[in-house]
Amino acid sequence: MDKLESQIARIQLFSPKQAGNFVFVSAEKATGSEAELYMVAELPLFNPAAADQCAKICQAVWGVLKRSYKKPLEESSFENMVAQVNEELGHMAETGQNYWINKFNCILAVKHQETFSITTCGKTTAFLLREGSFADISTANGQNHPLKTFDSFANGKIKLNDILILSNTQLLNFISVDRLKEVLKKDNFLAAAQTVIELLKETAGPAVAFGTIFNLQLPYGQGVSEEVDLENYIVENPYHKTVLSKVTEFIKSMTATDKSLRQNKADLPKISASERFAMLKKASKQMLSGTREGLTGITGKIINAGQAVSPRQIKKFSPGKKYLLGSIAIFLIAAVLSVSAAVYNKNIKQKQQNAAAQFELVTQNLSLAESALLYKDEKLAKEYLALVEQNLPTAENISKDQKEQLTQASQRLENLKNQFEKKNKVEAVSLGNLASTNELLDLNEFLAVTSGQSIITYEKSSGKIEDGRLKTEQPILNAYAFKSGQAAVYNGEALSIWNYQTGQTGSPLISSVPPKDTIAGLAFYPTNNRIYLIDRQKSQIISFQINQNTLQKPVVSISEPGLSAAEDLAIDSSIYVLKPTGIVKFSAGKLAAFEMPFLFDSYTGGGKIYTQVGWKNLYLLDIAKKRLLIMDKQGNMINMLVSDKFTDLKDFVIDEENKTIYLLNGTELLKVNF
């Protein structure tokens, strides 16, 4: 077989700021032989900032391919290269660079004389066009293990006039196989490639990126040696400029007051119906692409040309000229209407195509998120779901035919988010109405709210709601029952011990007690028999010793600037502080590691937390988002409880032993079992 030479057309249409996919295309001669190296790769691009990461992955693979062919060719060169690429990708995965896993679509190919070797992974388009017939030469078998991304390769012989097509799959989404075959039959190979570019630009929007290599086999010595940049290889069509400019000049001459500027009859352009259609089509394209010579500009020129013409002058025109001028006016009006319709239809079509590309990426990532949740890889599932949220088309950017698709994708996303966040809709039982307040007091056998010095109670054993069952000598803003019959209470100025069975209150303690506008939380730690609260003004957690019927010996347990924004606290062997940004943990008086569970609708403040010594879980009432979060003490989500009755949450009390939660919702007391 005679030695063959390649003529290569490389197409890369890619806008990092708008595209939903990243493409990498490279073709180069090996340094150690006459082998030709090719690579086409694609990764999803969900935001422009990810382009650098995508480029890094592609450059790493391309670097391995180039290094593998620095030495003279051997029979096993391609196989060894594939193994080295797999090793490089496996190393990237092990070091945490896993963005590409199950999302990398790539073609690696090497041509040496008439031998062509190829390996592919993911979704790609790899064809051999021979004598008018396409043959699929891709080798991918679906998703592969990260340590063996390219799991197979193929070798074959190519012949004179064969065309190799290496591309991402987007190519055939916008150009049919038959149309591609028809275009590539052209004698001028570079012109054919340019036609492909023009077709892609016409049918696809900037959100879609294309990476393609066309390789034509020629007799040795007949190829084009210089590299051709197809983006600048524009096939000019002078017809549009000449005909429209002649029409414009003709109208100017017809309306010119100076007879010397008018054209002679012999110079008048003759425009057939087919030419008018061609002019309109070209003007439409230019208007759509934003070129300066669109129909609007041409119409403006014509209007400017006619500004010097008065009705009196038009009356002097011959009947033939009047008829011609009227015909031109009708033509222009029809042209404007036609272009407007074309613009509208073009926008609709482009919107549909862009949305279709987005839906494809969304569907892919929803499936990957499902798989990650199945294998309990919450970190990876979170990444995929976040990508879906970023790329799900909005209702304004889709066609009517795609609304059902959007509804289904949105519902599927919502279901997966609920599964990820362990969201559980519960039945809340109403136990009756208490009073309007922000504090629900846990007094062991009673739940209570205060209204002035009146106390309304709910007795857990009997289910009775009573007013006046318990007595107090002072207002109660907050209370914590540290044993049956006794509670530490705060009245807005001082702390004291309240015997809620007798109604008597011990001596008040004012020292180190913050005013009501700066106090947060009230908790009891039985190990040291102390009551804890937060002084936001001083950014301190202060504890007080319980001594029979009094509180004494205030001690600053923690001093931390961030406590100025604290909302509540809970204590076991550690202290958990709720802030508008989430929960922070202190152990032995110092900040300790704690990470809130990831929430798609994050906590934004205004809640309350609770736990006790020996309890398994930490409970957070997210008042603003109308939900209750149950997490373990490492910050892992156990359950998220929601209910249609959670309309005006105020406070809550937990009975972990009996798996019961009491919630104050407005004035109503609700009960939930979990």
Q: What is the pLDDT of residues 352-380, one digit of tens each?
A: 777 888 888 888 889 888 888 888 888 88
CA 192, CA 129: separation in Å to the nearest integer? Answer: 14
φ, ψ for residue 54, nearest 5 deg: -60, -45
Beta-carbon-side half-sphere exposure of residue 564 (alpha carbons within 13 Å): 4
Using CA atoms, how far apart are residues 252 and 501, in angstroms rounded to an integer? 104
Interval 583-613: pLDDT, tens: 999 999 999 999 999 999 999 999 999 999 9
Instruction: Give the closest residue to 196 by CA, choosing from 224, 185, 207.
Output: 185
Are 256 and 311 in contact by the 8 Å Cβ rule? The answer is no
Local confidence band at 295 (pLDDT 50, 70, 90 cut-offs): very low
- By CB atoms closer than 10 A (0-12, 13-18, 19+), residue 397 is middle
Q: What is the pLDDT of residues 187-206, one digit of tens each?
A: 678 888 888 888 888 888 78
558 pLDDT band (50/70/90 cuts)? very high
Mean pLDDT, to the nearest integer, of 23-46?
91
Q: Please give the Cα distance from 453 to 455 (Å, whole number).
A: 6
Tens of pLDDT, residue by residue over 309-334, are 556 666 666 676 666 677 777 877 87
Q: What is the pLDDT of residue 316?
A: 63
More confident residue, 233 or 275: 275
The pLDDT tens digits of the residues spanning 615-671 come to 999 999 999 999 999 999 999 999 999 999 999 999 999 999 999 999 999 999 999
Q: Which helix (H) or strand (E) segment is 360 a member of?
A: helix 319-374
Dihedral angle of Cα 643, 648, 651, 653, to the nearest 10 degrees: -30
Give the rounded percent of residues in the chain with a pLDDT score beyond 70: 82
pLDDT at 510: 95
Q: Is the pLDDT of residue 225 over 50?
A: no
Q: Which of the given ranges, 35-39, 318-322, 335-339, has the highest pLDDT on average? A: 35-39
Residue 559: both structure tokens together: 């001093």
Query: Quick check: 458 and 464 in contact, CB under 8 A?
Result: yes
As a whole number, the mean pLDDT across the chain is 84
Res 224: pLDDT: 53
**Higher-confidence position of 570 and 330:** 570
Task: Categorize the per-residue pLDDT at 243 as very low, low, confident or very high, splitting at 50, 70 and 90.
Answer: very low
- Contact between 147 and 86 (Cβ < 8 Å): yes
In terms of Cα–Cα distance, which of 10, 358, 5 is closest to 167? 10
Question: In this predicted structure, what is the pLDDT of residue 50?
Answer: 83
